[in-house]
Amino acid sequence: MAHEDCIFCKIIDGEIPSAKVYEDDAVYAFLDISQVTKGHTLVIPKTHTKNIYETSPEIASELFERIPKIANAIKKAYRPIGMNLLNNNEKPADQSVFHLHIHLLPRYGKDDGFS
Ligand code: 5GP
Ligand code: ZN
């Protein structure tokens, strides 16, 4: 169920526009508004869950099951030479949006902006 005042729930519902990378019944993937590297994508479960601590095994497996396919689509579209997966949980660890998300960060070499 959509969580009140959650920007990622609003993105899933289409209330806030986003550049869709992938969507199915359980997962939505879209370009991060602040592209740390070209093709920087966020993958989120459609069910609102605050972060990894509050995520059920079912939601976690639905989410991670899709990631190889999404990573390969990004690899094909942007041709990076590598990719980092990143997940921040709680403010001290730089979580700024409290709807679980996995960053997919395509890498292009030493000076690609992500360090
Ligand atoms: P966090 O810091 O919580 O790990 O990552 C949140 C990410 O969400 C940030 O990289 C930020 O740029 C992205 N973000 C925040 N608001 C929006 C938005 O309205 N649209 C999109 N596409 N990305 C957003
Ligand atoms: Zn949400």
Tell me the pLDDT tens digit for each residue of 22-59: 999 999 999 999 999 999 999 999 999 999 999 999 99
- 106 CA to centre of ligand 2 in angstroms: 24
Q: Is 51 in the pocket of ligand 1 (CB under 6 A)?
A: no
pLDDT above 80 for 115: no
pLDDT for the residue 1: 61
Catalytic positions, please? 101
pLDDT band at 79 (very low <50, low <70, confident <90, very high): very high
Tokens of 67: 């990631």
Mean pLDDT estimate for the chain: 96
- Mean pLDDT over 6-34 rounds to 98
Q: What is the DSSP letter of 81?
A: S
Q: How far is C-alpha 101 from the geometric centre of its chain's CA atoms?
A: 4
- 114 CA to centre of ligand 2 in angstroms: 26
Whole-structure pTM value: 0.97
Tokens of 34: 């602040």
CA dist., res. 65 & res. 69, Å (int): 8
What residues pack around ion ligand 2 (CB closer than 5 A)?
3, 6, 8-9, 48, 99
CA dist., res. 14 & res. 28, Å (int): 11
CA dist., res. 3 & res. 36, Å (int): 27
Evaluate whether 48 touches 6 at the Cβ level (below 8 Å). Answer: yes
Correct CATH for 7-107 of 3.40.390.10, 3.40.50.720, 3.20.20.140, 3.30.428.10: 3.30.428.10
pLDDT for the residue 102: 98
Domain ranges of the chain: 7-107
CA dist., res. 2 & res. 9, Å (int): 5
Tokens of 48: 């609102």
